[in-house]
Amino acid sequence: MLLAFSLLVVVTSGQEPTDAQEGLDREKHFTLVVLPIMQRRCFACHGKNPDELKGELDVSSIEGILKGGESGSPGIERGNSGHSLIMEAIRWDGLEMPPKENDRLTQAEIDAVGKWIDEGAVWPDLEKQNLILKKNAEGGNFSGKVMVTSGGLSKAWDNRRYNPAEVWAFEPIVKPDVPDGKLAYSSEIDSFVNSKIANANLEPTEIAAPAVLLRRAYYDLLGLPPSIEETDAFVSAYSKDPNGAWSELIDKLLASPHYGERWGQHWLDVVRYADTSGFSNDFERSNAWRYRDYVIRAFNEDLPYDQFIVQQIAGDELAKDKNSSSNSAPKVTLSEGLVSTGFLRMGPWEHTAMTPEKVSRQIYLDDLTNAVGETFLSTPLKCCKCHDHKFDPIPTRDYYRIYAAFATTQPAEMKSEFLDKESRNGFEEQKAHVQRLLAHATEKMNSLYAKREKAAKEWYKERGRESDYAPFDQRRKPTFLGEKPRRFIGLSIAEEGELKVREQDVRLWTRRMERFQPLAQSIYNGGDYLHSSLKLREPQNKYQLSKVKPIGKTQILDGGSVYAPSIEVTPGVLSAIGLNSGASSTSEDPFKLTDAVDGRRLGLARWIADSKNSLAVRSIVNRVWSLHFGKGIAGNPNNLGASGKAPTHPLLLDYLASEFIANGSSIKWLHKKIMKSNVYQRASSHPQFSKVENADPNNQLLTYFNPRRLTAEELRDTMLVLSGEINLAVGGLSIRPEMNLEVALSPRMIQFSLAPGYQPDSTPSQRNRRSVYIQRIRGLSDPLMEVFDKPNSSESCEMRDSASVTPQVFTLLNSDVVTKRSIAMALRLQGEDKSVERQIERGYLRSLGRVPSAAMVQKLAAHYKKMVDYHRKHPPERESFPTEITRRVVEEFSGDPFEYQERLDIYEDYSPDKQASDVEVETRALADVCLLFLNSNEFMFVY
Amino acid sequence: MNGFKSEIDRRSFMYGLGASLGSVALTGMMGSEVTASGTRATEDIAKQAHHPAKAKSVIMLFMEGAPSHIETFDPKPKLNELHLKNFVSENERFSGMTRGNRFYVGSPYKFRKVGNSGLEMCEHFTHMAEAEVADELCVYRGCKAESVNHPAALFHMNTGSRFGGDPAIGAWVNYGLGSVNENLPGYVVMTELAAPQGGSGNWSSGFLPSKYQATRLRSSGSPILDLNPPKWKTRDHQRMNLDLLSEINLESVKNHPQHRELESRMDNYELAFRMQMEVPDLVDLSRESEQTLDMYGLNQESTAEFGRKCLMARRLVEKGVRFVQIFSGGWDSHDFIERAHKKRIQSVDQPIAALIKDLKSRGMLEDTLIVWTGEFGRTPDNTIRGGQTAIGRDHNAQAMNMFFAGGGVKKGTVVGATDEIGGEAVEVVHPIRDVHCTMLDLLGLDDNKLTYFHGGRYKQLSQFGGEVIKEIIA
C-alpha cells in the first residue's frame, strides 16, 4: 500500500514528455522507488559485503546485477522484465526471494522493479541520486505523506513517504461532523454506524430483549450475572419505560464497587499484572496487590484518564513536584504515588548472577520503553530497538529517547504507608501462616547447620587445631587461610540437598513477610545499583552508596546490543505526532525532556496525558470500545500503527475521542455514551442473516451484536454467585482459591530448590472472593483459569482469546473445583424450595438467564430421579488433604535423588468446601443437574 | 449398572441425531477452533508441507540443567594437561558466574571411539556405544546459545525466544503440519516430576491458537488433568449426563441458530468422551512385552523413569503424535561432576539406546527425528566456591553439543567443532535459531513460510529468519 502511493510519478501536465524529461523520470523512479526497495529487501544478502554475499550475487550495482550470481545467467535483461531472473525470484515464481514471508515484495513493488527493467534499468551515479533525493525532500512531484521526526539512522528513512491511511493515528484529532440522519437516532454513535450500514445496503437488527440486555450490561460492567430478582425488576421497569430503565441500570452498575474490579481486570491484562517476578526464582512481589487495588479504585472513582496516566508513570515525581500548580490535577501523597507507579514494576524481570548487570538493566529498560508505548500509546516500541521502524514514523532515536527517560528509574521496594482506603483484612492470619513456615524452615536449616558445625569442630580437633575453628561464614571466605574442612562436612548427600532447599525456603518466607510491611513495589530515581532481585532496596549506607554507578548519557545501541553504544541521545518523546514536550521543549529540540535525574518521567507522562496527544486519546477510547463490542474500532488495541488493523469507523473514533476530552477524560462517561447507543443494544441475531453474512462476514458494520464467551474470571465468579458462596469483599491481600491438587502440589523448579507447594486459604470466605484478587504466580497457572484463556502475564493482552477447546470440557465436567460448585449450588436450591421442579426451574433460570420450558423441567426432573437411584449405589469417597508431602529432587552434586518433607500447615486447620461425601444422595443428584447447567452453552455465552 | 444398558443405547442414538448437526469434527485433540465472530476456522488435519519431508515426527530429549559437552560427546584432552591451573579471562560480557578465581578442569572421564563410525563417547555411555545405535547419530558441536540463565536458555531452545510465552517449536510444527490422530494431542510433553524452570512457558502455544499448546502427560496421577470424573461417577453416568446436556444445548442452538460456535462446542464434548477411552489405553504399558520393558530399562531403578518416558514417546509417535518432548533433569553439575554426570548419563543411556533400536526395528526411525540437547553447554573451567576447588563446570553459552538421529540426518557423523578447551564453538557455528530451522526443514517446513500474523507482523519460530545447517542433513 505504502508503495502504491509513492509510485505515482507525476509528469507535469500539458507537456509532451521530452527525452530529457523521460530520462529524469526514469532516474527518479530508480532512486526514489526501486533503490529503496532493493536496499530494504535485497542488500542484506546481496549487497557490497563479500562475506555476507549469498549465491555469489551482488545487486548493489548494475554491473553486479548484469553479471548475475552462481547460476551464471545475468540477473536481468535490460528492457525485458519477462526475461529477467530477478523478476522470477521476487515474484516467488520458481525462485523465492527474499525468502521470508515478512520481506516478500508487494505487488506494487514487483511492478515497480519490472517497470524499471522494462525502461532500460537506468542506474544514475551517486551524485545524481543525491540530487534527486534532495529535490524530493523539498517537495518534489511525488505523492504520499512526509512525516517529520527527530531523524532516522539513514537519509532514505527520513525521506520515506507514508500512505496517509497508515499514519492516521499520528494525525491530530479533529472532531468530525456527525453524518446526516442524526435526529433519527438516539446517539451520534448510531449516526456514524448506521450511515455505513445503509451504504452497504443492509439494515441493522432489532434491539435485544430486556433480559438479554440486562445480562449483557451486568457482565460488561461488573463481570457478574444479575439475580433472579434483579431480572424481574428490570424486565418490569423496562416494559414501562425502556430508555429510563436502561439509563438507570447503567448508572446503578457504574456506581457499584464491582465495576472497578471488572474494568480494572482489563487494565491489569494490558499491564501484565502478576504477584511474582517470573524466571528462575519467581520471587513474590509481595505488595503488588496495592497497585492492583489502586487500579480498581481508579476505575471506581472515575479518575480522569490523563491523571491515571501521570500517576502510573510518575506518581512519585508528581507527589514531589513543586510546580504542580501549573497542573490542575489534585495532589497525590508520596505513598500514593509510589503505589501507582507500581505500573513500572509489572513486567517479568529478575537479576541474578547468571546475567551480566548491564544486560539485566537493559532488559528492564527495554521492557519499560516498550510497555509505555504499548500501554498508553498503543504503539509497541520494541520494533525500533534495533532499527528505525519499518512501517511507522518512529526512528530508533525516539526509542532511545524514551529509554533515556527511564534511565534514572530504579526498581525497588519502597516504603509507603498503608492508605486508609486499603484493606488490611487477613494480615494477622496470613502473617501467622508465613511465620509458621519460616520458623519450620529455619528450624530445619539450623539443625543441619548444627550438625555441620559439630563435624567441623571435630575435624579441627582430630588435627589438633581446635583453636583454628571458625564459624562457616568466616571459614568459607577465600581470605580464611589454611587447610579447612570440606564445605558440607558432616552432612550426607541427601542432607546437603536438603540444606539448600531449607536455605532457599528461609529466603522465600523471609521475603514473604514483606507482605505485611508498608512497602510498595515501586521505583526511585538514581544511578544504576544492581543487586540480586531477592531484595531490591534503595541504597542507604555508605557502602551501598559507593556501589551506585554515576548516571551516564544514554546512547543508541547499535543492533540493540548493549555492547555497541553509538550516537548519544537526550531524554525525549516521540516526534512523529508533532506534539512538543511541554516545559522542557526548546526551539532547537521541541521533543526534549529534562536530563536531570528527576523529572524525566513526569515530563514524559504529561506529554502522553496531553489532550492533544492523538495516539494516547485514540488508544483509550478504542480500548473501551473494544471491550464493549469484542473488537476495537481499530482491531488491535495495542497497535494503532500501520501493522495494526485499520479502523473500521475512523470518524466515529475521532468523534468519541474529541468528546471524551470535552467530557473530562471520564471513562464512565464513555461507557454511558456507548451503552446508550442502539448499536450496543442490538440483538445478537439478524433477520436477514445470510445476506448480512455474505456482505459483511465479520460483522464489521455492527448490524448485530457479537456474542462472547465468559472470561475465566467471569466463569469462576459466576459459579460462586450461583452457588451462593461468593464473598464480595473488595481489595486487600491476594487470595488463594482451591486449585486442582495435583497441580497445586506438583513440584516446580526454582533456583537451587523447589518452590513451596501452593496452599489455598484456609476458609471458604477467604477463598471464594472474586477472581481479580487471585494471587497471580507467573510460574504456576491455575488450570481452571488457564484453560479459559487467562493471559500468561508475560505479554500485554489487548483482548482475551475465547476459542472453545476440548480441555475446557474436562475442567467443566470432571474437575473437583466445578464439582464442588455444583454441590453448593444444589444445597442452595434445596434450601430455597422443597419442590424438586421448583429447584430445577430456579437453577436453570439463574444459570441460563431464561425460564425453562415445562417439557425441559420434566426431563430434568426425571433425570434427577434416576440420579438419586444411581447415587444410592455409588457412594463417594471422602477426600482428605495432606498436611505434609514428600519431595524428591535430583541432587546436582551427586546426580542422586533425595527426599525431604514439606509441611503444608494450612491443611492442619482447614475448613473445606462441602464435598460429595458430606451431602445426601438427593443433593448429589441435584448437583448432577446443576453441573449440566454449568456446562450449557447459554451459561457460557453473553448474548 | 447393567440396568442402564438399554437406556444408554437409546441415548447414544439420540445423541447421534444431535451430533449430526455439528458434524463431529475431525480436528486435533483440541477440537475445532472457532473464531471470535463465530465462523469456523479451516480444519487442520495433515496439512501440506512446504517441501518433501524427511521426518514425520520429532522426539526431543531435553537434558534440563545443561549437560557438559566435555563429559559427553566432545572430549578435550588439552584440559587434562591444564587441570587445576589458573584460568584467566576478563570479559565484560561474562556474568557474575564466570568471574572471580577460576581454574581449568580436566574431564574425569575416559573417552573412546565407538561403532564403525568411530564417534567419540564418554565411557559411561555403554548402550549407546553399540554400533547399531552409535552409527545412527549425528553429533553437532557448533551450536551457540545466548543466555546462561536456565529459564531464559530453556525458553530459547524451546520457543526461539529468551523471554518465554512465545509458541514452542512443537506448537509451530503442529500448526504447520496438522494432526494425524483426531483423538490425541499433536504435541505431548513429559517432564520430570517437577516442571523445569519457566514451567509451561516452555511448551505453550504462545500467540498461536491454543489448540497447538502441548498436552502435558503427567507421570503420576491422571495422565491429562481432569481427564476422568471423580471415581463415584462412572462412564455410564457420564454418558447419561452428556446426553441430557446435548438436549439442553440443542435448545440453545435453536435459540441462537446464527451462533456457530455452539455446534463445535458440542462436538468437543463428544471428542472429550472418546479421549477418556483412548488416553488411558495409551499410557497403559502392560501390553508391552517383558523384553521391551527390559530393553528400555523399566526394570531397574536408575533407568525406569526415563525409560518409561522413552517407551511412551515411541507409543505416542506410533499413534500419530507429531511432537513429543521428554525431559531429564539434574544436569546442572557445578561441583562433583564426576559423580553427578555419571548418574545422569547412566539414567538416560540405556533408554535412549532402546528407543533408537526399537524405532529402527519397527521401521520408524527413518521418519522420526530424534534430537538430544540441553539449554547450553558448560565451561572448561570452574570457580572457587566456599574457598575450595570443586570439580565441576559452570554455564557456557558459547559451546555445547547435541545429537540428532533418524529422520533424514547424517549417520555416524560429527558436525562442527569447539576450540581445544571446549570454551567456544569454532566450526560450523550456528545460533539456536538455525537448529530450529534445520528441524523444521527435515519436517518439510520452511521457517520463512511457517509464519503467523500477530501483533502487526508475520512471526516465525526463528524470530527473524535463520539458516538450515546443511551439514547435518543426509
Q: Which of A693, A890, A943 to mutate to test the interface with B (most CBs of B within 10 A)?
A: A890
pLDDT digits (tens, 9 = 90+) for A793-806: 888 999 998 877 78
pLDDT tops 50 at residue B86: yes
Q: What is the crossing angle of helices A493-512 and A427-462, to 10°? A: 150
In this prediction, residue A615 carries a pLDDT of 98
Identify which has the larger pLDDT, A221 or B14.
A221
Q: What is the crossing angle of helices A257-271 and A210-221, to 10°? A: 60
Interface contact flag, A803 B218, Cβ < 8 Å:
no
Q: Is the minimum CB–CB distance between A559 and chain B shorter than 8 Å?
A: no
Cβ partners under 8 Å of residue A542, min gap 6? none
Q: Which of B103, B205, B265 to mutate to test the interface with A (most CBs of A within 10 A)?
A: B265
Judge contact between A656 and A193, C-beta under 8 A: no
C-alpha A402/C-alpha A155 separation (Å) is: 22
Longest dimension (CA), chain A: 111
Burial of A483 (0-12, 13-18, 19+ CB in 10 A): exposed
Average pLDDT value for residue range B346-353? 97
High-pLDDT (> 90) share of chain A, %? 68
Q: Is the minimum CB–CB distance between B248 and chain A shorter than 8 Å?
A: yes
Average pLDDT value for residue range B82-94? 74
Residue A874 pLDDT grade (very low, low, confident, very high; cuts 50, 70, 90): very high
User: How far is CA B144 from its chain centroid?
Assistant: 20
pLDDT tops 60 at residue A878: yes
In this prediction, residue B92 carries a pLDDT of 59
In this prediction, residue A889 carries a pLDDT of 82
In this prediction, residue B94 carries a pLDDT of 61
In this prediction, residue B100 carries a pLDDT of 65
Chain A residues with CB inside 8 Å of B340's CB? 891-895
- Residue A822 has which C-alpha cell? 455444583
Partner A, chain B 393-412, Cβ-Cβ below 8 Å: 395
Chain A residues with CB inside 8 Å of B335's CB? 892-893
pLDDT tops 60 at residue B173: yes
pLDDT digits (tens, 9 = 90+) for A557-610: 998 899 999 999 999 999 999 999 998 999 999 999 999 999 999 999 999 999
Domain boundaries, chain B: 47-232+290-472
Interface contact flag, B148 A877, Cβ < 8 Å:
no
CATH class of the domain at B47-232+290-472: alpha beta
pLDDT tops 50 at residue A68: yes
In this prediction, residue A126 carries a pLDDT of 85
Q: Is the minimum CB–CB distance between A890 and chain B shorter than 8 Å?
A: yes
Average pLDDT value for residue range B52-65? 96
High-pLDDT (> 90) share of chain B, %? 58
In this prediction, residue A742 carries a pLDDT of 86
Interface contact flag, A863 B395, Cβ < 8 Å:
no
Identify which has the larger pLDDT, A258 or B273.
A258
pLDDT tops 80 at residue B290: yes
Q: Is the minimum CB–CB distance between A80 and chain B shorter than 8 Å?
A: no
Query: Which of A74-78, B191-195, B338-342 has the lowest average pLDDT?
Result: B191-195
pLDDT digits (tens, 9 = 90+) for A202-237: 999 999 999 999 999 999 999 999 999 999 999 999
Q: Is the minimum CB–CB distance between A913 and chain B shorter than 8 Å?
A: no
Interface contact flag, B341 A477, Cβ < 8 Å:
no
Give start and end residues of each alpha helix (H) in A68-120.
85-90, 107-118
In this prediction, residue A385 carries a pLDDT of 93
Average pLDDT value for residue range A406-419? 97
On average, the pLDDT of chain A sits at 91
In this prediction, residue B99 carries a pLDDT of 60
Q: Is the minimum CB–CB distance between B183 and chain A shorter than 8 Å?
A: no
Average pLDDT value for residue range B247-266? 88
Q: Which of A692, A806, A933 to mutate to test the interface with B (most CBs of B within 10 A)?
A: A806
In this prediction, residue A56 carries a pLDDT of 83
Interface contact flag, B259 A278, Cβ < 8 Å:
no
Q: Which residue of A804, A892, A936 is in closest CB contact with B330? A: A892
Q: SS3 of B250, please?
A: helix
Q: B361 to chain A, minimum CA–CA distance in Å?
A: 32
In this prediction, residue A338 carries a pLDDT of 98
Interface contact flag, B193 A888, Cβ < 8 Å:
yes
Judge contact between A863 and B244, C-beta under 8 A: yes
Partner B, chain A 473-532, Cβ-Cβ below 8 Å: 475-478, 480, 484, 486-487
Partner B, chain A 815-844, Cβ-Cβ below 8 Å: 815-816, 819
Chain B residues with CB inside 8 Å of A821's CB? none
High-pLDDT (> 70) share of chain B, %? 86
C-alpha A132/C-alpha A120 separation (Å) is: 19
pLDDT digits (tens, 9 = 90+) for A89-143: 888 887 888 887 777 888 888 989 999 999 889 998 888 888 887 777 666 555 6
Chain B residues with CB inside 8 Å of A208's CB? none
Q: Is the minimum CB–CB distance between A854 and chain B shorter than 8 Å?
A: no
Judge contact between A940 and A878, C-beta under 8 A: no
Residue B294 pLDDT grade (very low, low, confident, very high; cuts 50, 70, 90): very high
Preceding amide of A98 cis, omega within 30: yes
Interface contact flag, A932 B248, Cβ < 8 Å:
yes
- Residue A272 has which C-alpha cell? 501484565
The residue assigned the cell 453448593 is: A824
Q: Mark residue A203 as left, alpha or beta (left: phi above 0; alpha: psi -120 to 50; beta: remaining).
A: beta
Instruction: Give the helix, strand, coil percentages of chain B, each rounded to 5.
Output: 35, 15, 45
Identify which has the larger pLDDT, A135 or B166.
B166
Task: State which of A120-129, A301-310, B44-53 shows the largest mean pLDDT.
Answer: A301-310
Q: Is the minimum CB–CB distance between B226 and chain A shorter than 8 Å?
A: yes
Calculate the alpha carbon distances from A69 to A56, A117, B364 in Å.
5, 18, 41
Chain A residues with CB inside 8 Å of B211's CB? 803, 805
pLDDT tops 60 at residue B27: no
Residue A5 pLDDT grade (very low, low, confident, very high; cuts 50, 70, 90): very low
Chain B residues with CB inside 8 Å of A933's CB? 248
- Residue A380 has which C-alpha cell? 509497541
Q: How many CB pairs under 8 A join A and B?
A: 307
Chain A residues with CB inside 8 Å of B244's CB? 859-860, 863, 932
C-alpha B167/C-alpha B160 separation (Å) is: 8
Closest CA to A603 of A396, A303, A309, A374: A309
Interface contact flag, B193 A783, Cβ < 8 Å:
no
Interface contact flag, A355 B149, Cβ < 8 Å:
yes
Q: Is the minimum CB–CB distance between A894 and chain B shorter than 8 Å?
A: yes
High-pLDDT (> 70) share of chain A, %? 96
Interface contact flag, B240 A866, Cβ < 8 Å:
yes
Task: State which of A136-140, B323-327, B449-453 shows the largest mean pLDDT.
Answer: B323-327
Identify which has the larger pLDDT, B206 or A438.
A438
In this prediction, residue A46 carries a pLDDT of 85
pLDDT digits (tens, 9 = 90+) for A727-746: 999 999 999 999 999 889 98
Interface contact flag, B339 A894, Cβ < 8 Å:
yes
Q: Which residue of A359, A894, A937 is in closest CB contact with B262? A: A937
Q: A599 to chain B, minimum CA–CA distance in Å?
A: 31
Complex ipTM = 0.82
Q: Which residue of A has its CA nearest to B243?
A: A932
Q: A353 to chain B, minimum CA–CA distance in Å?
A: 5
Q: Which residue of A has its CA nearest to B1?
A: A870
pTM of the predicted model, to two decimals?
Answer: 0.83
Average pLDDT value for residue range B210-230? 83
pLDDT tops 60 at residue B239: yes
Query: Which of A235-239, A356-360, A767-771, B441-445 has the lowest average pLDDT?
Result: A356-360
On average, the pLDDT of chain B sits at 85
Judge contact between A306 and A611, C-beta under 8 A: yes
Q: A357 to chain B, minimum CA–CA distance in Å?
A: 7
Q: Which residue of B has its CA nearest to A809?
A: B269
C-alpha A563/C-alpha B446 separation (Å) is: 32
Closest CA to B471 of B444, B441, B446, B445: B441
Say which DSSP state A56 is in.
Answer: T
Chain B residues with CB inside 8 Å of A899's CB? none
Q: Is the minimum CB–CB distance between A156 and chain B shorter than 8 Å?
A: no
Evaluate the CA torsion angle B283, B284, B285, B288 in order and state its sign: negative
In this prediction, residue A393 carries a pLDDT of 95
C-alpha B359/C-alpha A225 separation (Å) is: 55
Chain A residues with CB inside 8 Å of B225's CB? 740, 742-743, 783, 807, 810-811
pLDDT tops 60 at residue A36: yes
Q: Is the minimum CB–CB distance between A859 and chain B shorter than 8 Å?
A: yes
Identify which has the larger pLDDT, B149 or A117.
A117
Q: Which residue of A356, A698, A875 is in closest CB contact with B95? A: A356
User: How far is CA A291 from its chain centroid?
Assistant: 15
Q: Is the minimum CB–CB distance between A257 and chain B shorter than 8 Å?
A: no
pLDDT tops 60 at residue B90: no
In this prediction, residue B318 carries a pLDDT of 94
Interface contact flag, A892 B65, Cβ < 8 Å:
yes
**Type of residue found at B170:** G
Q: Which residue of A487, A750, A795 is in closest CB contact with B388? A: A487
Chain B residues with CB inside 8 Å of A786's CB? 200
pLDDT tops 80 at residue A171: yes
pLDDT digits (tens, 9 = 90+) for A434-454: 999 999 999 999 999 999 999
pLDDT digits (tens, 9 = 90+) for A692-705: 988 998 899 999 99
Cβ partners under 8 Å of residue A570, min gap 6? A401, A404, A554, A589, A592, A593, A595
